[in-house]
Amino acid sequence: MKPYSMRSSLLLTIIMMGMLTVGFTIFTGEIYLQQTLDNRLQAFTELVELEVHNRWDELKEETRSLGLSVQSSRAFKQALEKQDKKLVERALNQHFHRAYVTLGIVNLRKLIVYNPALEKVYQSSDGDSMEGDVCADIMPKARQRTGASRYKTLHQVCSYGDDLRLVTLVPVGGLRLTGYLLVVTDPLPNLSKAEAGVGIPVMIKNAQQQVLFKSDNWPLPQNMKNVMLVTYGNRAGNQQAIAYFYFASDVTALNNKLFKTRITLVSIVLVTTLVAIIIALAMFRRMILTPLKKITRYLHRIRLDKTHLNDKLEVTGSKELVGLAQEMCSMSRELSRLYHQFEEMAFTDSLTGIPNRALLFDRLEQMTLSAKRNANQPEFMLLMMDLNRFKAVNDELGHHVGDELLVAVASRLKLALRETDTVARIGGDEFAIILHAVSDKQVAVAVADKITALMNDLFLIDGYELDVGMSIGIARFPYHGDSGEDLMHSADMAMYHAKRNNLPYVFFSQGLAD
């Protein structure tokens, strides 16, 4: 092979680097173009979500105000007191011709009156013809409420045929609850106003992808090439999306501007690169590239293994890189200290010093996932525990005594366990224990008896003799839950059953879930 002079080699290197730089510039320009479009899409998406949520909130407030307006009318009150069906219907029908409806504030579809037991008693004759309940899920939720929550307004959005309906359950009678008023509205006219709020055309579809609304200026199919389509599936409080919003933003001008910017950038880079490479290439390897590679390898080792945080880094080259290496060494030592400190804080309860909820749940998930991969994984038990009279200690003796009591409880719980078991404080006066490799119910009973005995012994805290006691719920993997979350839920149910029935411990059974 014919040898080349250093000058030729350098020139060839410069030319190749120039070509690579231009190619890289074009490539990064494409990335920049895509990132710009992505950023704009993200910004529009956030704007769309905010606008849709605002529309829902405004509509819910308007329906609530409508419900309060209905029940505050004199005719409605008198008709309801007389329990005259025709008078009540007439009073309800009058509101289909009031300003709320005639001015397009809400699209009222039905007004229904329920008694305090949430049984339908009256309804408007105007509006939709409804045989069954609209948004039937709202009634079970309302019937489950107790105490002051019964006086709160409930909202529910659901499908109604091919349309959407918003139902608002408003209590009637104020503090002297005499019933409920269900306001049924069609939210589509209000939601379609999102077009004006965002300033771009909108199309709304239901969960079956049927078009409910489309702006008059929605772009034609042949013009969609230069349109950025923002899609947002809105659940409106449901588990699945109940409506889909599509916003069409014309990005023709943005694409043209970005294209011109890219051409200008490439031209500048072509000129600048040739000059800069000639000046910088000779110094680049010795002063920049070599020390940077060394720093990169150092960071790579740290990324793979945090134990390298204390490794020493020494480089030669430019003054700035030498200083950077020194600062990185100092920073890595500090990060090493913080890493171990944060790791301990993240998984340890600051009051009792035992594992916290995060570590407990992590271990549960690891054990359940491992069991799903390995059929020979041993079974285990989960105990959820709650102090019986802790609130009284806090209220009567103060939080300081309560905190010391929790520390003492944690210490006694550790006495009841093996080294392989895990005890954790999961919040307040709740604790949990994982009995590793335990499938025999009697073993769990023995542990529960031991814990009960330890908890029944009086606690001496700041001169007070405290008798608190503990309720324990026990769940067995995988029979009472095949995930950490399900297992904790089962043990929780058993624990609350034990607390309600003044029992020291209860094993979960299907009867508790019924």
Given phi > 0 = left and psi -120 to 50 = alpha, else beta, which region is 271?
A: alpha
- Range from 20-34, 79-93, 416-430 carrying the lowest mean pLDDT: 20-34
- Range from 214-223, 311-320, 459-468 carrying the lowest mean pLDDT: 311-320
Cβ-based neighbours of 363, under 8 Å, separated by 6 or more:
422, 434
Task: Give residue-wise pLDDT tens across range 151-168.
Answer: 899 999 988 888 898 999
Determine which helix (DSSP H) or strand (DSSP E) holds 387, and give its type and residue range: strand 380-387
Q: How far apart are CA 67 and CA 54, in angstroms?
A: 20
What domains appear along the chain, each with residue ranges and CATH number?
255-345 (no CATH), 357-513 (3.30.70.270)
Q: How far apart are CA 96 and CA 91, in angstroms?
A: 10
Q: Which amino acid is at 335?
A: L
Q: pLDDT-based confidence at 6, cuts 50/70/90? A: very low
State yes or no: pLDDT of 353 exceeds 60. Answer: yes
Residues recognised as catalytic:
429
Distance from the first to the final alpha carbon of the chain = 86
- Identify the bridge partners of residue 213 per DSSP, sorted by sequence position: 204
Q: At what angle do helices 74-82 and 6-72 cross, to 10 degrees?
A: 60
Q: How far apart are CA 39 and CA 45, in angstroms?
A: 10
Q: How far apart are CA 471 and CA 507, in angstroms?
A: 11
Q: How far apart are CA 322 and CA 12, in angstroms?
A: 31
Q: Average pLDDT for residues 353-370, to the nearest whole number?
A: 88
Task: Give residue-wise pLDDT tens across range 209-252.
Answer: 898 888 888 888 887 888 888 888 888 888 888 889 888 888 77
Q: The tokens of 123 are what?
A: 């309804």
Backbone angles phi, psi at 174, to 5 degrees: 65, -135
pTM: 0.48
Secondary structure in 3-state letters for 142-166: HHHCCHHHHHCCEEEEEEECCEEEE
pLDDT given for residue 1 in this prediction: 47
Q: Is 213 exposed, middle or buried (0-12, 13-18, 19+ CB in 10 A)?
A: middle
Q: Are 315 and 295 in contact (CB under 8 A)?
A: yes
What SS3 class is residue 425? strand
DSSP 106: -
